[in-house]
Amino acid sequence: MMAAADELAFHEFEEASDLLAETPDAATTSGSNQLTPQGHVAVAVDSGGSYGAEEEVEESDRTALLQEEKQQPGFWTFGYYQSFFDVDTSQVLDRIRGSLLPRPGHNFVRHHLRNRPDLYGPFWICATLAFVLAVTGNLTLVLAQRRDPSIHYSPQFHKVTVAGVTIYCYVWLVPLALWAFLRWRKGVRERMGPYTFLETVCVYGYSLFVFIPTVVLWLIPVPWLQWLFGGLALALSAASLVFTLWPVVREDTRLVAAVLLSTVVLLHALLAVGCKFYFFQPLPLAHPAPPTQAASLSPDLPPPP
Partner 1 sequence: MAEAAESSGDPGTTSPRPLFAGLSDISISQDIPVEGEITIPMRSHIREFDSSTLNESVQNTIMRDLKAVGKKFMHVLYPRKSNTLLRDWDLWGPLILCVTLALMLQRSSIDSEKDGGPQFAEVFVIVWFGAVTITLNSKLLGGNISFFQSLCVLGYCILPLTVAMLVCRLVLLAEPGPINFVVRFFVVIVMFAWSIVASTAFLADSQPPNRKALAIYPVFLFYFVISWMILTFTPQ
Q: Where do contacts with partner 1 occur on this chain (CB under 8 A)?
A: 78, 81-82, 84-85, 87-90, 92, 120, 124, 127-128, 131, 135, 138, 153-158, 294, 297
- Return all residues near 32 (Cβ < 8 A) that are at least 6 apart: 44, 45, 46, 47, 48, 49, 50, 51
- Nearer to partner 1 among residue 45 and residue 162 (C-beta): 162
Closest contact distance (angstroms) between CB of 119 and partner 1 is: 8
- Nearer to partner 1 among residue 9 and residue 294 (C-beta): 294
Provide the b/e sequence for 186-197 (b: ≥16 CB within 10 Å).
eeeeeebebbeb
Q: Do 86 and 73 form a contact (C-beta atoms < 8 A)?
A: no
- Nearer to partner 1 among residue 72 and residue 90 (C-beta): 90
Closest contact distance (angstroms) between CB of 135 and partner 1 is: 6
Taking the alpha carbons at both ends of the chain, their separation in whole angstroms is 100
Q: Count H helices and E strands in the chain, helices first.
A: 12, 2
- Beta pairing partners, 41: 28
- Nearer to partner 1 among residue 299 and residue 305 (C-beta): 299
Closest contact distance (angstroms) between CB of 50 and partner 1 is: 38
- Nearer to partner 1 among residue 29 and residue 166 (C-beta): 166
Closest contact distance (angstroms) between CB of 298 and partner 1 is: 8
Q: Do 233 and 147 form a contact (C-beta atoms < 8 A)?
A: no
Closest contact distance (angstroms) between CB of 25 and partner 1 is: 24
Closest contact distance (angstroms) between CB of 196 and partner 1 is: 19
Helix axes of 197-207 and 120-147: crossing angle, nearest 10 degrees:
30
Closest contact distance (angstroms) between CB of 137 and partner 1 is: 12
- The secondary structure of residue 47, as a DSSP letter, is T
- Nearer to partner 1 among residue 120 and residue 197 (C-beta): 120
Count of CB atoms situated within 10 Å of the CB of 256: 13
CA dihedral 59, 64, 68, 69 (to 10 degrees): 0
- Nearer to partner 1 among residue 130 and residue 245 (C-beta): 130
